[in-house]
Structure 1
Amino acid sequence: MSWAVVGGSGFVGTAVIEALAAAGIEAHTVPAPRLATEARTAAALVAEALRYDVGALGTALRGHDVVVNAAGMATPSGQDGPDLLGANALLPAVVARAAAGVGVQRVIHLSSAAVQGSARMLDETTAVHPFSGYSRSKALGEQALTALDPADLSMVILRATSVQGHGRPTTASLATLARSPLASVAAPGTAPSPITSVGALADLVVTIGRHGAAVPDIVLQPWEGLSVRTVLEAAGGRPRLLPAVLCRIAVTAGFRISSLLGGRLDGQVRRVELLWFGQDQVAGWAADQGLVPRARVRDVLARAGRGDWAGR
């Protein structure tokens, strides 16, 4: 098999390239075109993708069996704007259209579980509840792909959860927070945390691309087994247990203040909510098929806490 990774030089793309090399699979990095758009509906995004000249991108993807779209703007606190929408909402449809036109067999688009917002349970349905500019852009990207529905192309949306690894600022920030006096969780601290590793995500991408049978339209990255408390402990912290009622009041107040500011603090408040309360998720397709990647986020957090990055 021959693979192309759009955005293969980025944080996730680099991990995918490494996982493919470890599996003995030929892979090529394809730079992502820089796109910007004002389109804010799936129909408008599809119309723009159909007008876009995919000639150069199609040439770069020609001859590959699997294409991974690992490109995009990973800015959870980012505001709505043409660049964010272009990278996260329009680009997926452009990549799928280019891939379909040159005979690619499967496209794996890396989305985010953030599209489901604070839903009680993350799942693999098309239901989305975006709460920020970033999550809205990722949700629009999924909806544009569903609306585009290119013929003769297996199109898989892989929803990554909170991905951690070497080189990611959020991982360094999490390790710093874990060792600070601010480290805390809502009692009793046993809620599942959707914290995962970039290595496990990359392995899942390889598994999906190589899977000979049909793959669902949406696949959720599996949970790696940590609770909100053990996440901070793995990074070297000793989190305090705070009353859950007070934590919920603080989060609600935070979102109300953010609303008065036009939603500019939604991303930050949501991160605090995840830190305290975590989020549960379904086992999903990977677990049903016995294809859950090896869990390694505990080691990633431990290395981040020690400042030791000898590998992913």
Structure 2
Amino acid sequence: MSTPSTPQSPGSASVPSSAPVWVVVGASGFIGSSVHAALTARGARVRSVAAPRLRTDATDARALAAVAAGLVSERKALTEAFANADVVINAAGLATPGAGDSPELRGANALLPLLIADAADAAGVRRFVHLSSAAVQGHRPFLDESSHVEPFSAYSRAKALGEQALAVRQSGPCSVVTVRATSVQGPGRPTTAKLARLAASPLASVAAPGTAPSPVSSVHALVDFVLTVAGHMGPVPPVVLQPWEQASVSSVLESAGGRRPVRLPAWFCRGVLRTGYAVSSLAGERFHGPLRRVEMMWFGQRQEPGWAEATGNVPEPRVQHVLESSRS
């Protein structure tokens, strides 16, 4: 398995000045702080950079590129912040799956990664890793590493736009890789606490027979995977998917709630979702976020093996432990 080139052990008193510099944009957030902590524990030279507040009315990749080209001072500031860095990891953005569309949402989730990629090129960074979301593929029967996206909400559309903008930009010397994170859970995350409460309640249910694979994952495995991708010295595809942690829809609820979920007829679950999404569409997608969470609880979503499986870079699954710990 490929690991980040950080020669110092966690217990080292100092890190050589020749060691690679890692930059984390958005290190104050849930995933960003976990990435920063893992790098620090591994003895890396890590630098935190605050993300600029951006907003845009652009709704396609070409228009987004034009907006990014005009952000001269913001790009210059990021280029200076990335000086002498080997790797830049973007963990910034608005993690608001239920939010409505806004210039701020598109600025944080679509325009920012494009601006960072341009600055990383200018600064001579070896690799830029952008954290996206598997939500960009929406209701597809399976998740994969293809460019095919089916966004279904304002949040997933903004994330998909960011991916598309990176895909069509004029590439420079920096290797740009997008990591599609799945449904990430971890200690202290409100989403995880809500999942634990739901799993322990009578509402915990799955579509029969309850064996469908679930993309629910652990922040620990995601961080390990991000650092492996970032530190890999060979080529990496432009889009990679966070590997499946072997969870099923039933095992997720059992681990988080300590009880077996109710098994509902699949036809009943599909009917409820069809009706719910129709009503939500009439209400401006107001309920798309909660409905998607119910859909994932009932049916999950299969993941196709990708780069991680082909190269032996699958991190150790830890989602069961994270969910069991969330009960308290």
**TM-score interval, normalised by the smaller of the two chains:** over 0.9
Listed one character per residue, the Cα deviations across residues 262-282 of structure 1 (whole Å, up to 9, x for unaligned) are 212111111110110000011
Instruction: Say which SS state the counterpart of residue 159 (structure 1) adopts.
Output: strand
Are residues 1:106 and 2:127 paired?
yes
Instruction: Say which SS state the counterpart of residue 206 (structure 2) adopts.
Output: strand
Are residues 1:243 and 2:262 paired?
no
Of 137-146 and 20-29, the range deviating more from structure 2: 20-29
2:282 and 2:97 map into 1 onto residues whose CA distance is 19
Deviation at 1:238, TM superposition (A): 2.2
1:283 equivalent among 296, 305, 328: 305
Amino acid at match of 2:89: V
Give the match for residue 286 of structure 2.
264
**Which consecutive unaligned segments of at least 5 residues does structure 2 have?**
1-19
Deviation at 1:22, TM superposition (A): 2.8
Deviation at 1:136, TM superposition (A): 0.2
2:50 equivalent among 22, 28, 31: 31
Instruction: Say which SS state the counterpart of residue 326 (structure 2) adopts.
Output: helix
Give the match for residue 65 of structure 1.
86
Cα contact 1:179–1:238 (8 A) shared by 2: no
Count of matched residue pairs:
306
Q: What pairs with 1:4-15 in structure 2 (closer than 5 Å)?
A: 4-15=23-34
Q: What pairs with 1:125-140 in structure 2 (closer than 5 Å)?
A: 125-140=146-161
Deviation at 1:209, TM superposition (A): 1.2
Listed one character per residue, the Cα deviations across residues 208-233 of structure 1 (whole Å, up to 9, x for unaligned) are 11111100000000000110000000
Are residues 1:210 and 2:231 paired?
yes
Q: What pairs with 1:183-222 in structure 2 (closer than 5 Å)?
A: 183-222=204-243
Instruction: Say which SS state the counterpart of residue 32 (structure 1) adopts.
Output: coil
Are residues 1:45 and 2:67 paired?
no
Listed one character per residue, the Cα deviations across residues 101-139 of structure 1 (whole Å, up to 9, x for unaligned) are 110110000000000001111000100000000000000
Give the match for residue 195 of structure 2.
174
Instruction: Say which SS state the counterpart of residue 182 (structure 1) adopts.
Output: coil
Deviation at 1:24, TM superposition (A): 2.3
Q: Percent identity?
A: 56
Listed one character per residue, the Cα deviations across residues 151-200 of structure 1 (whole Å, up to 9, x for unaligned) are 11100000000000012111000000000010100000000000001111
Cα contact 1:79–1:133 (8 A) shared by 2: yes
Give the match for residue 36 of structure 2.
17
Are residues 1:304 and 2:323 paired?
no
Instruction: Say which SS state the counterpart of residue 5 (structure 1) adopts.
Output: strand
Instruction: Say which SS state the counterpart of residue 136 (structure 1) adopts.
Output: helix
Of 184-193 and 10-19, the range deviating more from structure 2: 10-19
**Which consecutive unaligned segments of at least 5 residues does structure 1 have?**
308-312
TM-score calculated relative to the size of structure 1: 0.97
Give the match for residue 310 of structure 1.
none
TM-score calculated relative to the size of structure 2: 0.92
Deviation at 1:21, TM superposition (A): 2.0
